[in-house]
Structure 1
Amino acid sequence: MTDQRVMPRPFVVLGCAACGVVTLAGIREVGSIVGPALLALVLVLAVSPVRTWLGRRGAPGWTLVAVPLVLVLLLLLGIVAILILAVAQLAALAPTYGPQFTELVADVQNLAGRLGVGTEQMNEAIKTLDPGKVFQLVQGFATGLLGVLSGLVLIVVLVLAMCLDARTFSKALAMGATRRPKLIGALENFAQKTRRYLVVSTVFGLVCAVLDVGALWLLGVPLPLLWGVLALITNYIPNIGFVLGLVPPALLGLLESGPRTMLLVIVSYMVINFVVQSLVQPKFMGDAVGLSTTMTLLSLMLWAFVLGPLGALLAIPLSLLVRALLVDSDPEGDWAAVLVSGEAPRTDTPEKRTAPVR
């Protein structure tokens, strides 16, 4: 009889954590390859219903690859064109508000002096403020995404390869369903949740963007279409995306028309975001994400650190993929699923609990 020694649980946890750190460090080092590959995977999942629809209607085999590929290509070209325009307009816009900001700083210094708090340190702090830094932050975000999408050829090739292998991959999943039902079910659940998340986020992001553009146009804020596009893009960034989309137009409203316009921009954005994304969107999103608020925020910080701006945009789909591979595919991972989702597990029937797993 062999002596089987079980490694203590703390060492197992530390070993897994170390492996995770090494894996993430490796992904960060090859982010220029992993980033486009993950983006291609999400895009293929997004257009896969089109391929399924064509297949059910007996469309020729080449259309099952060509149509999804054309849709992805049009989407990528549109995003690249918008980002190029945004970067160019931001680069031209930032220097034009130097005099307005200088006058605003002088007014703030005078007000602070009248209130008796105009210390030298405060004056120096005010002088260090620069509206160009905010525009540079947004411009850097757009430039980072543009840098990823500049490898358009690589992304298109990856999408083409994935579309060609989609039928074979589906057959492989069907064959593996009897041997690894938990894993296959987890991957299918990941694909469904990712598609639902993308559809719901895109629809309500467009609604918010249109309303934001209308509000900015009525308030006379320059470049309302640009800020609407920014609001749509940042809608995919959980937790802090709303703030990233709000700060540039609010600051521009301050420089253009004064504090009243800035406050109106902030109030308009907050009302639109609260009504659309806090009251209406959750009714359609449901449990599509399956991540708690804490896990969503941690996912954002982690993937943004590993993959940069692209990681921030894909934080939710990437976390869903990790959950499918490490949590949902584990027969004993129900407790971890509760920690990740923040929701109590569903009560299974006795038949489901006693049914053997094939």
Structure 2
Amino acid sequence: MSGYDPEKAGLHMLQKLAALVIIVAGIRAASDIIVPLLLAVFFAIVLNPLVVWFMRRGLQRGLAVTVVVITMLILMSLVIGVLASSLNEFATRLPEFNQMLTERALQLERLIPGNQHLSPERLLQRMDSERMVSFATTLMTQLSGAMVSVVVLVMTVIFMLMEVRHIPYKLRFALNNPRIHIASLHRALKGVSHYLALKTLMSLLTGITTWMGLKLLGVEFALMWSVLAFLLNFIPNIGATISAIPPMIQAMLFNGWYECLMVGALFSAIHMVIGNMIEPRVMGRRLGMSTLVVFLSLLFWGWLLGPVGMLLSVPLTSVCKIWMETTKGGSKLAILLGPGRPKQRPLP
């Protein structure tokens, strides 16, 4: 007689789903605490290879962490100072965007033949310049607000960099089956750190190339748009497209349609070369997730944790996938998150 009971199996599944809903609701309720912690983990993972590099040159861990963190703070202070100046100038010129948008709306009305119901006032209500170009400033404001406090973030990163060497020792005594879990954790950290480090490098290359290209085209606020391109490059699939929209609108309003198309061509070329040619060769498919899962994870983590969740959607999903592979009930679900059918071995 089989011991399988469909009713108990269904009840057990409902209990798991209920627990998952409670966990997700708890994470969203505690997002004000979790988001700064995730940012600290992100910075710690990206900076830890630099700390290891300095340690191999003879520095003690404490001194290496100090050098890396101070260098990071100096660079961030310089970028934030210049960016704050650009944002302030951008905000003061928003009325000019409204005026230029009115003129473009009148031009559009004259280009449409036989139109009797298109009015500039109605267009301006739907195409308000502040709505069209405020995505960049809104995203940056939310990111800065998510940090809560720069001092707390920096201190958390310092403590994480100092404690990372003790994690394997602690896990050996804290886990029931340390060999399997430590190996999975090591694989997850290796894959995520590789992804974040190379993604940061590719995003930095994207931002620098964008800044140089916009400068050559004579587009104003090139630094602000390049920083936006750097941040949105962490968002898979749609980040590069979103980053191109605000500077194209600005070029269309202040320069013309030709300059708008040139800016779009610039972003397309950067995405084609860096995003589709250089980045796949450098990064490979180490995280092992399908394109659909990457896109769905972008929506899920963005809904759960906001812009920071969108930026870190791929590494967060990768960690969850690797954790599922080590559990008895989650191994099949981890297969569903994978890139596809494994390659079959040739017959002898």
TM-score bracket, normalised by the shorter chain, equals 0.7 to 0.9
Deviation readout 1:250-278 (Å, 9 max, x if unpaired): 00110012211111111221122112111
Letter in structure 1 aligned against 2:45: L
Aligned to 1:335: 332
2:298, 2:67 → 1: CA distance? Answer: 32
Aligned to 1:192: 190
Counterparts in 2 of 1:19-58, with a 5 A limit? Answer: 19-56=19-56
How far residue 71 of structure 1 moved from its aligned partner, in angstroms, is 4.9
How far residue 282 of structure 1 moved from its aligned partner, in angstroms, is 0.5
1:225, 1:61 → 2: CA distance? Answer: 35
**1:301–1:312 CA contact under 8 A, matched in 2:** yes
Q: Does 1:102 align with 2:93?
A: no
Which of 293, 296, 304 matches 1:295? 293
The alignment of Structure 1 onto Structure 2 pairs a total of residues equal to 343
1:61, 1:29 → 2: CA distance? Answer: 36
Aligned to 1:169: 167
Q: Does 1:276 align with 2:274?
A: yes
TM-score w.r.t. length of structure 2: 0.86
Distance 1:103 1:13, change over 3 A: same
How far residue 346 of structure 1 moved from its aligned partner, in angstroms, is 6.8
Distance 1:158 1:5, change over 3 A: farther
Letter in structure 1 aligned against 2:335: V
Letter in structure 1 aligned against 2:187: N
TM-score w.r.t. length of structure 1: 0.84
2:172, 2:49 → 1: CA distance? Answer: 17
1:212, 1:11 → 2: CA distance? Answer: 54
How far residue 76 of structure 1 moved from its aligned partner, in angstroms, is 5.2
Aligned to 2:92: 92
1:32, 1:194 → 2: CA distance? Answer: 23
Task: Say what the alpha-carbon RMSD is for the aligned residues.
Answer: 2.9
Q: Does 1:204 align with 2:202?
A: yes
How far residue 136 of structure 1 moved from its aligned partner, in angstroms, is 1.8
Residues 127-136 or 31-40, more deviating: 127-136
How far residue 19 of structure 1 moved from its aligned partner, in angstroms, is 1.9
How far residue 295 of structure 1 moved from its aligned partner, in angstroms, is 1.2
**2:101–2:253 CA contact under 8 A, matched in 1:** yes
Distance 1:69 1:13, change over 3 A: farther
How far residue 332 of structure 1 moved from its aligned partner, in angstroms, is 6.4
Deviation readout 1:201-236 (Å, 9 max, x if unpaired): 122222222332232223221121221111111111
1:247, 1:93 → 2: CA distance? Answer: 18
- Percent identity of equivalent pairs: 26
Distance 1:286 1:175, change over 3 A: farther
